[in-house]
Chains A and B, each alone.
Chain A
């Protein structure tokens, strides 16, 4: 599985956009990028995923660079309830049978402040 690198922590003012970067320079052509978040002492929550194109849903937007070596999760108007650890994950290659394994690193701790 491709390894991901994320900053350890970030701060964001409430109401502003939170931009969370992720590097995945060894990603292969058919691996997807997934984002999850984990609020303290709860189970992680799926946010969004993408392969090549930018994606948007009701929670966030995902911007993937053209070379796919990095991506950015955007929370357009962060609130205090968005304070959590955000995980960027590359899913195992489905053609080698490892697609069931998602590897969660230590993520980025986002602190949203007033």
Chain B
């Protein structure tokens, strides 16, 4: 079945540690996205990529980094520079030309202890 897989589902880290969240899709979509969601809030765009080896900052990119070495994969690293990393992280993908229809993964919940 085609879809988006995020891992891990739950992650705990200590302050000062970097952590990488995985996102893989087998939908053959060109575009991929990372969003952050805080309790009771909407989604905020962190980074997005429309093509391999290219990505753009979203609205809240500070303290995060991404790579897009393969079409299927778009990992997100939450660095120690991110002041408030505890959140629900959502990865999505879309066919570029129909960029309004996003397919989301099940999310990764990061808690910093």
Contacts and interface: CB of A to CB of B under 8 A. Distances in A.
Bind each other? yes
A71 to B, nearest CB: 14
B107 interface: yes
B13 to A, nearest CB: 20
B52 interface: no
A46 B45 CA distance: 17
A44 B48 contact: no
- How many of chain B's residues touch chain A, expressed as a range? 20 to 34
A107 B102 contact: no
B63 interface: no
Interface string B31-50: 10101000011111100101
Interface in A52-75: none
A100 B99 contact: yes
Nearest to A101: B45
A42 B43 contact: no
A43 B96 CA distance: 20
A94 B97 CA distance: 9
Contacts of A42: 106-107
Contact of A107 (B35, B42, B45, B104): B42
Contacts of A107: 42
Contacts of A41: 88, 107, 109
Interface in A1-53: 32, 34, 36, 41-46, 49
A91 B99 contact: yes
Contact of A49 (B44, B101, B104): B101
Given A34-B100, A101-B58, A104-B42, 16 more contacts: A32-B100, A36-B102, A41-B109, A42-B106, A43-B105, A43-B107, A44-B90, A49-B100, A91-B99, A99-B99, A100-B33, A100-B56, A102-B100, A103-B45, A106-B42, A107-B42
8 contacts: A49-B100, A101-B45, A102-B99, A104-B35, A104-B42, A106-B40, A106-B41, A106-B42
Interface of A: 32, 34, 36, 41-46, 49, 87, 89, 91, 94, 99-107
